[in-house]
Structure 1
Amino acid sequence: MSGINLSDSTVIAALSAALTTAGVDGIEIEQRHQKLRIVVERTGAASVLDDAAKASETNIAKAQLAGVFTHSRTVSSSLPCNVTAGEILGFIGIGPVLLPVKASKAGVLTRVLAENGTLVGYGAPLFEIERHS
C-alpha cells in the first residue's frame, strides 16, 4: 500500500476540514521523506507545516510516560525563551511521584502544547522547541 501524498493541497484541505469538524487540535503525519503537521487554532483556522526543512528544525518534547502534566511557571510566563539541553521544562505526576520533562536539545521554546494539570498519555507532545537560527 502506498502512502498518501502529503504535499497534495486537496489532501491537506480535506484533513484540515476533518480535524476542524471533529474538534481535534492537530495531527502530525510522517512518511518516508514527507512530514505534515496541521494545527487547528482555537478560532477554527488550521495552519499547515509541510516544509521538511522547517519540520527538521523543530523538536517536540514528548511525555515519557502517562500521568498528570505540570509545566514550569517560568517556562509558561515568558514564551518564547531560550532553553538548554537537559533543562527541566515541566513534570509528569504519577501519584506522589514527579518525573521531570527535559529539553532534549538546546533551542527556543516556542509553545507549550499541553494544558497545565491535564492527564497526558505516553508520547503526548508537550513542548515545541525550535533550533536557534
Structure 2
Amino acid sequence: MSAIDFSDPATIAFLTDALTAAGVVGLEISRPDGQLRIVISGEGGARIGSSEATPRASGSAPVVVKAPLAGYFCAEHPAAALTPQNLPRSVSDADVLGFVSLGHVLLPLRAGQSGVLTRLLAEPGALVSFGDPLFEIELPS
C-alpha cells in the first residue's frame, strides 16, 4: 500500500467532499512531520488546518512562514484591491501575511512571530505544496 500524499490539493478536496457526503464533522491526521485537520461546518463548508513540526528559531536566524497545506498562494486577500506589499515592514505574531486558497477554502497565513517581514518567497498565484516557504521574518535581537 502506498502512502497518501496529504500535500496534494486534489487529495484534500476529495477527503473534504467525502467527509461532507458521509455526514462526518471532522478528521484529524497526525504524522511525525505534521498534522492535517479538516472540520466540516454546519452549512457544508469546511475549515482546513495544518501544521508542520518545525523547531523554534534560535538567535538571529530568520523565521520562515511555510504553507500549512497545498493550494494557491495569495499575498493579499483575493477580494481586496491589488496593492503592492511594501517590504520590509514590521509585523506582529497575529498579523495575516497572506492566504492559501484551496477550492472554496481560504486559509489565512499568520506571522506567528513578531519581527520584520523581509522577503516574499513565493510568487502570488503560484501552486504551493505543504511546507513550501512563503515568507521570511527577521526576529528582533
**Structures share a fold, TM > 0.5?**
yes
Q: Which structure exhibits the higher relative contact order, with contacts defined as CA atoms closer than 8 Å and separated by 6 or more residues?
A: 2
- 2:109 aligned with 1:101, yes or no? yes
Q: Tell me, which stretches of 5 or more residues in structure 2 are unaligned?
A: 1-56, 77-81
Q: Trace 1:1-133 onto structure 2 (pairs within 5 A).
A: 56-72=60-76, 76-133=84-141
CA-based RMSD of the aligned residues comes to 2.0
User: Using the alignment, how far apart are the partners of 1:53 and 1:64 within structure 2?
Assistant: 21
Deviation at 1:57, TM superposition (A): 2.7
1:53: Cα distance to partner?
Answer: 7.0
Decide whether aligned partners of structure 1 residues 53 and 122 sit closer, same or farther in structure 2, where only a CA change above 3 A counts.
Answer: closer
Greater percentage in helix:
1
Structure 1: 5+ residue runs without aligned partners? 1-51
Letter in 1 for 2:123: E
Q: TM-score, normalised by structure 1?
A: 0.55
CA distance in 1, matches of 2:85, 2:58: 29
Residues 58-107 of structure 1: CA distance to partner in whole angstroms, max 9, x if unpaired?
10000000000001266x52100000002100000001210001101000
The whole-number CA distance in structure 1 between the counterparts of 2:67 and 2:58 is: 24
TM-score normalized with structure 2 length? 0.52
Count of residue correspondences: 80
**Which whole-Å deviations, capped at 9, do the CAs of 1:27-55 have from their partners, x for residues lacking one?**
xxxxxxxxxxxxxxxxxxxxxxxxx976x
State the identity as a percent.
Answer: 50
